[in-house]
C-alpha cells in the first residue's frame, strides 16, 4: 500500500465516535492515517443525560444545533474528519409495549436507499478499513441496528459497479470491523483491579445485568494498543456535554489503572478481503505494505 491509509468509522449519533474507538482513531491520526467519522443522524431525539444541563430551555429547544457544535469540538480534539449522512434520530423507544418509531426517522428508512448514501461517501473517501456496530447494535438502539444494516450493504456494494452507479467511481474497502469496546473481559479486568486496590468499582451493576443476558459472547479478534490516547478519548467524550456527566461513571476508573490493566480497544473482524492472522493488534494488518 503506497498511498495514505484511510479509516472510516460509521456511527449512529454524535458522541458515539467518542465513546467507541476514539483512542484508536486518535492513535491512527497521530501516525498519519486519514480518519473520517460518518455520523448517520443528528442526535435530535437524544435525551439530555448530563444532570447539570437538564432543564435548560435553550438546549432542549435547540438540541440539534447544540449537538452539532459538540460534534465539531470532539472532531477537533480527535483530529478526525467528519460527515453527516443527514438522517433523523429515531429515539430510543421505551415502555411495554414499545411505542412505534417516529415517522421519517433513520430506523424506518429503506435499508438499500440509506446504504446508498453511505456508498457515496465510501466512494468519495476511499477507506481501506471501516468500523461499525454488530447486528445487535452494540446495544439495541434502533439507530445502531440500522447503522449495522447499512454498513454491511455499503461495504459490499461500494466496490460493485452494478450497484449505485450514480454514487461515483467504485471503491472496495478491504476490512470491516465491529466495535467491541464494551466487552466482558475488559469490564471484569477493570472491576477486579479496582477491588484489589480497595477502590470502588462502577462496574458491579453492569456485570450483574450481563448475567441476565443470554446473548453469546462476541469474538474479540483485534486489540489495538492505544493507551497513550485515553486522555484524548476522554476529552472528546466530555465535549459532548449534553450526553456525558464529567463526574459520572465513565470517568471513575483512575487513568493509571486503565493504562496498566487494559491498554487496548477491541474489535471483531467481520469481513476481510486480505490475509491476516488472528489475533491482531492493528486494523490495517494485512493491508500495510501490500
- Summarised one tens digit per residue, pLDDT across range 58-73 is 998 999 999 999 999 9
Same domain, 53 and 149: yes
| Cβ–Cβ under 8 Å, residues 40 and 146 | yes
CATH of the domain at 50: 3.40.50.10320
Does the annotation flag 16 for ligand binding?
Answer: yes
Number of domains forming the structure of the chain: 2
- Summarised one tens digit per residue, pLDDT across range 131-153 is 999 999 988 899 999 999 999 99
Same domain, 118 and 232: yes
Question: Is 98 contained in some domain?
Answer: yes
| Cβ–Cβ under 8 Å, residues 38 and 198 | no
Same domain, 203 and 245: no
Q: What is the mean pLDDT of the chain?
A: 94
Same domain, 102 and 190: no
pLDDT above 60 (res 248):
yes
> Please, which residues have CB within 8 angstroms of residue 43's CB and are 6 or more apart in sequence?
13, 14, 15, 63, 64, 67, 89, 243
Pairing of β 6-11 and β 129-132: parallel
3-state helix/strand/coil string of the chain: CCCCCEEEEEECCCCHHHHCCHHHHHHHHHCCCEEEEEEEECCCCCCCCCCCCCCCHHHHHCHHHHHHHHHHHHHHHHCCEEEEEEECCCCCCCCCCCCCCCCCCHHHCCHHHHHHHHHHHHHHHCCCEEEECCCCCCCCCHHHHHHHHHHHHHHHHCCCCCCCHHHCCCCCCCEEEEECCCCHHHHHHHHHHHHHCCCCCCCHHHHHHHHHCCCCCCCCCEEEECHHHHHHHHHHHHHCCCCCCCCCHHHCCCHHHHHHHCCEEEEEEEEECCCCCCCECCCCCCCCCC
Domain containing 56 equals: 6-183+219-272
Same domain, 12 and 87: yes
Same domain, 149 and 27: yes
- Summarised one tens digit per residue, pLDDT across range 108-128 is 999 999 999 999 999 999 999
Question: Is 138 contained in some domain?
Answer: yes
Confidence of residue 21 (pLDDT cuts 50, 70, 90): very high
C-alpha span between 220 and 179 (Å, rounded): 10
pTM exceeding the 0.85 threshold for the entire prediction? yes
Cell numbers representing residue 171 in the block: 471503491
Same domain, 179 and 199: no
Confidence of residue 215 (pLDDT cuts 50, 70, 90): low
Does the annotation flag 144 for ligand binding?
Answer: yes
- Summarised one tens digit per residue, pLDDT across range 47-100 is 899 999 999 999 989 999 999 999 999 999 999 999 999 999 999 998 888 899
Question: Is 1 contained in some domain?
Answer: no
Question: Is 247 contained in some domain?
Answer: yes
Same domain, 34 and 125: yes
Same domain, 25 and 72: yes
Per-residue model confidence (pLDDT) at position 1 = 46
- Report how far apart, in Å, the C-alpha atoms of 173 and of each of 34, 130, 222 are: 14, 7, 18
C-alpha span between 37 and 179 (Å, rounded): 13
C-alpha span between 141 and 185 (Å, rounded): 23
Does the annotation flag 13 for ligand binding?
Answer: yes
> Please, which residues have CB within 8 angstroms of residue 253's CB and are 6 or more apart in sequence?
190, 194, 202
Q: How many CB atoms lie within 10 A of CB 170?
A: 17
- Summarised one tens digit per residue, pLDDT across range 6-18 is 999 999 999 999 9
| Cβ–Cβ under 8 Å, residues 83 and 130 | no
Question: Is 156 contained in some domain?
Answer: yes
| Cβ–Cβ under 8 Å, residues 138 and 20 | yes
Q: What is the dihedral of CA 68, 173, 118, 150, to 10 degrees?
A: -110
Same domain, 102 and 144: yes
Same domain, 211 and 136: no
- Summarised one tens digit per residue, pLDDT across range 147-197 is 999 999 999 999 999 999 999 999 999 999 999 999 999 999 999 999 999
Question: Is 119 contained in some domain?
Answer: yes
Amino acid at each position: 500500500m503506497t498511498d495514505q491509509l484511510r479509516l472510516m468509522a460509521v456511527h449512529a449519533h454524535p458522541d458515539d465516535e467518542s465513546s467507541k474507538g476514539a483512542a484508536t482513531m486518535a492513535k491512527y491520526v497521530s501516525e498519519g492515517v486519514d480518519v473520517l467519522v460518518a455520523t448517520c443522524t443528528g442526535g435530535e431525539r437524544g435525551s439530555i443525560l448530563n444532570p447539570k444541563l437538564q432543564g435548560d430551555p435553550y438546549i432542549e429547544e435547540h438540541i440539534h444545533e447544540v449537538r452539532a457544535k459538540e460534534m465539531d469540538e470532539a472532531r477537533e480534539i480527535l483530529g478526525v474528519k467528519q460527515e453527516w449522512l443527514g438522517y433523523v434520530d429515531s429515539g430510543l423507544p421505551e415502555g411495554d409495549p414499545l411505542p412505534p418509531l417516529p415517522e421519517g426517522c433513520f430506523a424506518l428508512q429503506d435499508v438499500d436507499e440509506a446504504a446508498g448514501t453511505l456508498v457515496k461517501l465510501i466512494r468519495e473517501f476511499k477507506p481501506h478499513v471501516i468500523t461499525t456496530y454488530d447486528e445487535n447494535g452494540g446495544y439495541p438502539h434502533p439507530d445502531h441496528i440500522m447503522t449495522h444494516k447499512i454498513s454491511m450493504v455499503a461495504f459490499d456494494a461500494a466496490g460493485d459497479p452494478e450497484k449505485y452507479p450514480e454514487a461515483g467511481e467504485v471503491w472496495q474497502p478491504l476490512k470491516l470491523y465491529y466495535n467491541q469496546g464494551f466487552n466482558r473481559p475488559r469490564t471484569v479486568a477493570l472491576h477486579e483491579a479496582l477491588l484489589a486496590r480497595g477502590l470502588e468499582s462502577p462496574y458491579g451493576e453492569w456485570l450483574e445485568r450481563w448475567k441476565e443476558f443470554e446473548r453469546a459472547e462476541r469474538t474479540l479478534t483485534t486489540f489495538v494498543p492505544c493507551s497513550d490516547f485515553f486522555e484524548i478519548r476522554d476529552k472528546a467524550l466530555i465535549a459532548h456535554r449534553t450526553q456525558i456527566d464529567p463526574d459520572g461513571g465513565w470517568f471513575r476508573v483512575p487513568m493509571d489503572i486503565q493504562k496498566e490493566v487494559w491498554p487496548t480497544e477491541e474489535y471483531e473482524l467481520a469481513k476481510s478481503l486480505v490475509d491476516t492472522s488472528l489475533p491482531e493488534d492493528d486494523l490495517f494488518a494485512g493491508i500495510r505494505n501490500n
